[in-house]
Amino acid sequence: MADDGRFSRFRDPDITGIDMHVHGGTRASSSGAPQQAPKEGRTGTTYNFAEFVADYRERKLCAVIFDVDRSHVTGEGVSNDAVAELVATAPDMLMGFCSVDPHGGRASTDEIRRCVSELGMRGVKFQPISQAFQPNERQFYPLYEVAEELGMVVVMHSGYTAVGQGRPGGGGYRLKYGQPIFLDDIAADFPDLKIVSAHPSWPWHDQALAVARHKPNVYIDLSGWAPKYFPASVVQQANSLLQDKVLFGTDHPVISPGRWLKEFGELPIKDTVRPKIMVDNARRLLGFEAATK
């Protein structure tokens, strides 16, 4: 997929990080008005997109932007076009991933194709718990077939979610769908598909570590958790055997880049590993040539 001059800062040797996990909010606009919808289950997460862009530009960060289509569960979808409009406000430093209803059949695979051909998106995001599906069931394989064919990155939520947290019955959401071991089947059956297991995956973090260690096409992003709460095994593996498979991510607006970067700086990560997690691994995953000073 040609980039037509976009994403120039993703190649810039002076950038400090590529945030692989940012929620845009499909009610947002580029006007600067704080129109984003808060993420369900969180508080205080409405944010001003123009200020977000300015902050990331000042910090020399790039970001991948997406939302989650939960129309099968809630009746409310997302607008991939709106996400693309957000990306268009800063195309040098932002990249869009799409989202589709995994239960949508042909309509969903067609939407993935449209998002690539018309919107220039380079990945697709799934949230199995809030979308109510077990990712390794065969009925969902056409989604991965299209993503693999188009060279897209698949970001799959894993582990606990705050969606429905504290509501009666957890709002009906089932945590079982968040087990990262499901990605093992997908990675085995689609060896050329690039997969990101999103978040440190607590309480199944060791599953995620094992799958990423075993399957060359599986990565882990460190979003959604303040780094000071990362499980010890995640830190140990990121610092050693998985140093080429782990990615910087915040889950913005849930966690600010300021907090994430400060706490990540306090972890006992080797100086040689930090740039891999912050930039180099994402560049390789996204298909950009390594930049050198």
pLDDT digits 0-9 by tens, 94-120: 999 999 999 999 999 999 999 999 999
Domain coordinates in residue numbering, the chain: 8-286
Which tokens in the block code for residue 195? 């997969």
Residues 6+ apart with CB under 8 A from 215: 183, 184, 187, 188, 195
Q: If you count them, how many residues does the chain have?
A: 293
Nearest-angstrom CA–CA distance, 228 and 271: 18
Q: Is the pLDDT of residue 239 over 50?
A: yes
Query: Phi and psi at residue 157, in whole multiples of 5°?
Result: -55, 140
Look up the CATH architecture of domain 8-286: Alpha-Beta Barrel (3.20)
How crowded is residue 10: how many other Cβ atoms within 10 Å of its Cβ? 23
Give the per-residue pLDDT at 5. 60
Confidence category of residue 71, pLDDT binned at 50, 70, 90: confident
Q: Which residue, among 156, 292, 146, has the nearest Cα to 217 in the 3D structure?
A: 156
Which tokens in the block code for residue 217? 């096409």
Mean confidence (pLDDT) of the chain = 90
pTM of whole model > 0.85? yes
